[in-house]
Amino acid sequence: MERGGDREASRGHDQLFKQLLRAFFADFLRLFDPETAAELDLDTLEFRDTEAFTDIPQGERRTADLVVQVRTIGGMPRLLLIHVEVQRERELRFPWRMWQYYSLLRQREDLPVIPVVLVLYPGREGIALEEYTETVFGRTYLVFRYLQISLPRLDAVEYVQMGGVLGAALASAMRLPAEREAQIGVHLAGLRRVREAFETGYVDEARAFLVVNLIATYLPLSNDERDALQVQLEQQGDTTLEATELTWADHLVLQGREEGREALREAILRLARARFGSVSPALEQAVQEMTRENDLLAFFDRALYAQGEADVLSTP
């Protein structure tokens, strides 16, 4: 049975992916379903308000993760919906739930719906159409299909080398090389993609932060590994670690001294909630008591790479 703390942590991790997909939705479609993306005017993406379904026969209340309205480039239909769910664990009735969402959206909005699920466990294939069927007396009356993307079935090295910042982010949750040195290479390559995207103006500080946060959460470095990598990069004149860790935090501080410090405190707490599911009173008190900018920035760095609250609170 999943405990309350585990549920909160799972929700926090799921929220990371929802935020990332919302920030990079067009890239998400181009990366995993290029045929569909080619038929859509991705400049017309419109995120619908959180879709809450209260008209389920059992009286349950459910909320779809992402529902996006978009126009097509030509032909019919002119308008459609894309529904995306993020699923962390296997669930026996999940295919039925996808069909239920589809049916309710289709009936309520009277628009075609493209259903997609991003799963964080090893599925049957990396990218495949999955089916939900209903059969009575040996005769199949319903066949419902949805696109399933199973990150652990996809090759991290392949996706981080594609060059896209979203692929670099999601590579951290894909199938990694067995050797730890190669895993660290995936981590560093992902950060370099973020830096390139930021320097060319493709992403702003907030979107860069989302990507770095996901990489740090799913492919974290130990303190020793990070220190060794820092020394190696400094010898090469490579400032990737500093650029990707501090750009967003420094920007907040530069907004104004006290205003920046307060914004950074809030950023640390948001980051902790997103990564660990909740914030303990001890962590919140430690953050609120900090007054020096350098201390807050150091705390932000630890929160970005820590594997748990204890690592954040520990003295470096």
pTM of the model: 0.74
pLDDT at 281: 84
Q: Work out the percent of the chain whose per-residue pLDDT is above 70.
A: 84
134-182 pLDDT, tens digit per residue, is: 999 999 999 999 999 999 999 999 999 887 899 999 999 999 999 999 9
Confidence at 33, pLDDT banded by 50, 70, 90: very high
- Residue 95 has a CB neighbour count (10 Å cut-off) of 18
Confidence at 256, pLDDT banded by 50, 70, 90: very low
Confidence at 255, pLDDT banded by 50, 70, 90: very low
Place of tokens 């480039």: 73
Mean of pLDDT over the chain: 83
Task: Report phi then psi at 304, rounded to 5.
Answer: -70, -35
pLDDT for residue 65 is more than 60: yes
Residue spans per domain, the chain:
4-153, 156-309
